[in-house]
Amino acid sequence: MNIQSTPKRTPKRTPKRTTARTIARTTKPAAPASAQTDLAQCDAAPMRFLDTYLAALLARASSLISDEFHATLARKKIPVLQWRVLACLSDGSLPMGDLGRVILAKQPTVSKLIDRMEAAGLVVRQEDPASRRRTLVALTPHGSALAAELVVLALEHEASVLLPFEPETAKIFVDVLRKLIEQHSK
């Protein structure tokens, strides 16, 4: 008995659309000579999504850079949130609500932090002359001196972070970050 089998139909493969995103994920940027040996081991593996995703890159860069400066703060026994308050208030007083948004902390945390900083003589609460419902927070002379010392250290750290870049590139980078913050703060 002769049984003929029908040939299996192979579906045609539609070529994948090439986009900037797929190119970015499959290609690796040029690396400095010192890093090329490390990249040689990784060339076989395609880039992961998080290696090209802006939010993840910003978060990783922020974490790495912040951790470096936080080590300086730890040596001086200055809590990170306290540093953020000192840095924010180094340019003048702020309402409590605004302070929480700038230092990236919730209001109950900010209130407790300001209580501790007030007890340590670093800040004072003031009535806002424009609105009785708002409380301003300002640095004391002791707080101003500490803030000034820490701002110098922060600027030195920032300079070391940006050192590998041309000054114009660093300025553009900072400007782009400011624009991103402005666009997404609304």
**pLDDT of 25 strictly over 60:** no
**pLDDT at residue 184 tops 70:** yes
- Could you give the percent of the chain with pLDDT greater than 90? 69
CB of 125 closer than 8 Å to CB of 137: yes
Asked if pLDDT for residue 140 goes beyond 80, the answer is yes
Higher pLDDT, 164 or 36: 164
pLDDT for the residue numbered 42: 53
Predicted confidence at residue 30, as pLDDT, reads 46
SS3 for 36-68, per residue?
HHHHHHHCCCCCCHHHCCHHHHHHHHHHHHHHH
Which residues does 89 contact at the CB level (< 8 Å), separation at least 6? 99, 123, 137, 138, 139, 143, 147
3-state secondary structure of 78: coil
Taking residues 19-28, what's their average pLDDT?
44
**In this structure, are residues 21 and 52 in contact, taking their beta carbons and an 8 Å threshold?**
yes
Give the CATH number of domain 57-161: 1.10.10.10
More confident residue, 41 or 102: 102
What is the pLDDT, as a whole number, of residue 133? 85
d(CA 40, CA 42): 5
How do residues 27-79 score in pLDDT, each as one tens digit? 444 444 444 445 455 556 788 999 999 999 999 999 999 999 999 999 999 99
Calpha distance 62→119 (Å, rounded)? 31
Contact by Cβ (8 Å): 89, 126: no
Domain extent listing, the chain: 57-161
User: For residue 1, is pLDDT > 70?
Assistant: no
Q: Where are the beta strands (DSSP E) in the chain?
A: 94-95, 123-128, 131-139
If residue 21 lies in a helix (H) or strand (E), which one and from where to where?
A: helix 20-26
Residue pLDDT, tens place only, 73-99: 999 999 999 999 999 999 999 999 899
Between 98-107, 118-127, 143-152, the lowest mean confidence (pLDDT) is in 98-107
Question: Is the per-residue pLDDT at 161 higher than 50?
Answer: yes
CA of residue 11 relative to chain centroid, distance: 47
Whether this prediction's pTM lies above 0.85 is answered by no
The mean pLDDT value for 151-160 works out to 97
- As given in the structure block, the two tokens for residue 132 are 């009785």
Q: Tell me what pLDDT residue 35 has.
A: 47
